[in-house]
Every structure is written in structure tokens, then in C-alpha cells.
Amino acid sequence: MKKLEFCKPTKSVTGSWVTFGLTNDQEDEKKNGFYVNMLKQAGWNDQTKNGTFKDNVNNPEKHKRIKLSENDIAETLLVLRSNGTKKWSTVHAGKTPIFVEPFIKEENHVGYLIKLGGIGIALNFAETLRLQEYLKLTLQQIYL
């Protein structure tokens, strides 16, 4: 199954890149699972109007990778389907806080915010729908 990515660089270098993906390693089953990678933006190229991220890949303060359980995936789905009425948080492996909550801008619910250990990304409603569908497919793949 292909990965789902959202890349949101900003000129002010406050953007993030998140990747969701199911790993199925035939040789090492310990690696199998559903992973979320969150990477903080490292720079901005004014000429190309693109953000850069590569410089933060090896910085543990600016790059988080966590493995979510089936229950974590279900909790995330519940929040994304709640129409802004629910939020969920936990601490992964005793050290990385995870938050999934409504994103409120100027007193309006405009999407959802996902944060891993201080790195966050805001998803609009279309992106939220894509994530919901991906999480549903992920659970189906796990159960097949």
C-alpha cells in the first residue's frame, strides 16, 4: 500500500511534512506496523518558492517517527469523524506525546491538527477525508 503524505512548507520556515504508511517486511516482522513520520521544515528557497526538509532528518528534536497501534488508528478516526467535538492524546513509548484535535482558526473549525512531540501539521477538511479513508484502508489491510 502506498504512503500518504502531506507537505506544507511556509516562507516563514514553520511548515511540516507528515507521512503515514503501513510497513509489511517479510524478513523482519518486528518492523511491521503503521508508522507516522513528522518532519519540521528546515529552510526556504525564495527562488523556487519551495521548503526544504532534508537538514532535519537526523535531528531527533525535529523529526519524529512513531508506530501506532490498531487502537491508536481507531482513536484517530473517531476524532476525525467527530465534526470537531472530540480530541485524543496519548504518550507514545513513554516519551513522545501525540495529539489529534480540531483545528480552530478565528473561532471556526477549519480542519484537524496532528502533533507528534512538538511538531504539528494542520489538515483542511479535504485532507482530513483523505486521511480518514487511508486509515480505514490501513485497518482493512491489517485484518486481511
- Cα separations in angstroms, 92 against 2, 51, 110: 24, 28, 27
H-helix segments, the chain: 70-80, 125-143
Question: Which residue in 122, 117, 111, 128 sits closest to 17, CA to CA?
Answer: 122
pTM of the predicted structure, to 2 decimals = 0.89
pLDDT digits (tens, 9 = 90+) for 33-87: 899 999 999 999 989 989 999 999 999 999 999 999 899 999 999 999 999 899 9
pLDDT at 128 over 80: yes
- Domains with residue ranges and CATH for the chain: 4-143 (2.30.31.10)
